[in-house]
Amino acid sequence: GAVVSQHPSWVICKSGTSVKIECRSLDFQATTMFWYRQFPKQSLMLMATSNEGSKATYEQGVEKDKFLINHASLTLSTLTVTSAHPEDSSFYICSADRPPGTGSSYNEQFFGPGTRLTVL
Amino acid sequence: RKEVEQDPGPFNVPEGATVAFNCTYSNSASQSFFWYRQDCRKEPKLLMSVYSSGNEDGRFTAQLNRASQYISLLIRDSKLSDSATYLCVVNPADSGYALNFGKGTSLLVTP
């Protein structure tokens, strides 16, 4: 299957610092990528939809000024958690939407391995 | 009401058992349905798509009932390696390709 990478895989930071997470589609171009967050024993919750070359679309309740998304190329989207606080500690997962034609006749989403963020 | 609902479990079953998971979804316009598997502290991985006619992949059988807005997953001859959380996932027609995840059903297969 297609490969999506995330970096870093885990990060521990002090409260008030900013953390950048990268999501890369390694073997296909992704016009659309998604950022999810998962708290312990909870389901994945969509935070935002990242579109290459345009502003991200944020879900209700997600602060766009706190979670900055940049999708500067067809293979890279970044999520920056600004002024992180302990309540931002979570598992952040990206997914990339692979269009039909490359191994499949329909769109498929592929997930990155996730980034575990711990804010002290 | 949550868009995708699952029995959280946990389901504890012995090796070789057959186990079934159920899921309901609220958006009747939803177009595509999936079961994902998530291991502890890992990303979800696609187990199988679910088609209206039902589909089978080895020991796994998925069924979709659009009238009842109900999806099921049946695992036969459970293996220890099947222990994981199984996520029911729905792609709602009105939000492009963003997926809605259920909270997941936890399965533990014991020797």
Give residue B54's pLDDT band: very low, low, confident or very high (50, 70, 90): confident
pLDDT per residue over A32-66, tens digit each?
899 999 998 888 888 999 888 888 999 999 999 99
- In DSSP notation, B19-38 reads EEEEEEES-TT--EEEEEEE
Q: Which helix (H) or strand (E) holds A72?
A: strand A67-73
Q: How many CB atoms lie within 10 A of CB B64?
A: 20
pLDDT above 70 as % of chain A: 93
Give residue A93's pLDDT band: very low, low, confident or very high (50, 70, 90): very high
Interchain contact, A32 vs B97, CB within 8 Å:
yes
Q: Which residues contact A40 (CB under 8 A, 6 or more apart)?
A: none
The shortest CB-CB distance from A43 to any of B43, B45, B102 is to B102
Q: Which residues contact B47 (CB under 8 A, 6 or more apart)?
A: B34, B35, B36, B37, B60, B73, B86
Q: How far apart, in whole angstroms, are the C-alpha atoms of residue B71 and residue B21?
A: 8
Interchain contact, A43 vs B43, CB within 8 Å:
no
Q: Return the closest-CA partner of residue B104 out of B49, B35, B55.
A: B35
**Which of A8-12, A108-112, B6-10 has the largest mean confidence?**
A8-12
Rounded (to 5) percent helix, strand, coil in chain B: 5, 50, 40
Interchain contact, A46 vs B103, CB within 8 Å:
no
Q: How far apart, in whole angstroms, are the C-alpha atoms of residue B42 and residue A8?
A: 14
Please tell me the predicted confidence (pLDDT) of residue A105. Answer: 61
**Residue of higher predicted confidence among B43 and B78:** B78
Overall average pLDDT of the B47-63 stretch: 90
The shortest CB-CB distance from B97 to any of A42, A107, A114 is to A107
Overall average pLDDT of the B3-9 stretch: 88
Question: With the C-alpha atoms ordered A16, B42, B6, A56, is the resulting torsion angle positive or negative?
Answer: positive
Interchain contact, A109 vs B99, CB within 8 Å:
yes
Q: How far apart, in whole angstroms, are the C-alpha atoms of residue A55 and residue B32?
A: 26
For residue A89, give the amino acid letter: S
Q: Return the closest-CA partner of residue B65 out of B80, B52, B50.
A: B52
Alpha carbon B81 to chain centroid distance?
A: 16
B4 and A CB contact within 8 Å: yes
Give residue B1's pLDDT band: very low, low, confident or very high (50, 70, 90): low
Q: Residue B72, class by beta-carbon neighbours within 10 Å (0-12 exposed, 13-18 middle, 19+ buried)?
A: middle
